[in-house]
Amino acid sequence: MDTLTVNEHTTHSADTAHDMNPPRWTVSAIEALFDLPFNDLLFRAQQVHRENFDANAVQLSTLLSIKTGGCAEDCGYCPQAARYHTGVENQETLSVDAVIAAAQAAREQGATRFCMGAAWRGPKQRDLDKVIAMVKAVRGLGMETCATLGMLKAGQAEQLREAGLDYYNHNIDTAADFYDEVITTREYSDRIDTLAKVRDAGLHVCCGGIVGMGETRTARATLIAQLANMEPYPESVPINNLVQVPGTPLHGTDALDPLEFVRTIACARITMPRAMVRLSAGRQEMGDAVQALCFLAGANSIFYGEKLLTTGNPDVENDRALFSRLGLKPMNPAA
């Protein structure tokens, strides 16, 4: 999987949204999208969105932390890193029964995909055995399954696929040339290696990034290019707005302009026309108006529930009220 190869002769017409092979996007081409007048950018993104999806349907996912805290990594945004003092307590892996109960509750609230996240650098086999049991149980409830467990060793992605896992999440986080400013305990190439294992095993890829970490617009355009130029690009693309947690190195970073975040969503939609673009971390801080603009810009997936791993998320009733005001509906899982 080569995420950085770029064809300088990129095509930009809306017709390319129908091509079986997505166009190759240069960083400069994506910067040109970012530079469009706001209304023009959203109009174009909405056109691409409508060509590929129901414009008023949003896929609902719930994310559960199955193992919290104590992570050996030094990701500058993460409150679960053991080296930072953020008030997040190290907790043991949840039982299968606890995960089933959480998944049942999520399903009753309307979620169709259940994501399980663990604060590991990568799972040991005994850890993976527990996750496999969880995946099988959640699939038994009729829900799509997703897991984010860190870096995978040879053969682990195949075990997850055989258990019935639908998606594996492994974000590249940011532009390759900004990566070392955020994380030093693993290389950008390590993430690409895990993504290759996931794709080769036949799993769907969930891969996105985080903006608002002090990066430039060029870095945001590069992040989108790296995602869009994957072959194929990810089926799910979570776009996170940094949630600043006291005790993490990125706490105190200048907040990203909310309209710049909307532009990032729009660029993701235009460059990855058939992906589920997920409005992910940071929704609680956005407010309803900015979320509405993100849906207009092509976001069609959210994490649904009161908590996103260890940080807050708009609760179910608030989301239902917002959906009602906007005329949005939950997406049929078969869509």
Catalytic residues: 71, 75, 78, 115, 146, 206, 278
C-alpha–C-alpha distance, residues 209 and 236, integer Å: 11
Token pair in block for residue 259: 């309209």
C-alpha–C-alpha distance, residues 12 and 116, integer Å: 36
Integer-rounded Cα radius of gyration of the chain: 19
Could you give the angle at which helices 258-271 and 27-34 cross, rounded to 10 degrees? 130
Give me the residue label for tokens 């500058």.
76
Give me the residue label for tokens 């932390």.
65
**Whose CA is closest to 7, among 22, 18, 17?**
22
> Which residues, in sequence order, are bridge partners of residue 236?
206, 276
Token pair in block for residue 125: 């086999």
User: How does strand 204-206 pair with strand 276-279?
Assistant: unpaired
Give me the residue label for tokens 């909310």.
258
**Whose CA is closest to 335, among 20, 33, 121, 56?**
56
C-alpha–C-alpha distance, residues 97 and 79, integer Å: 26
C-alpha–C-alpha distance, residues 281 and 19, integer Å: 31
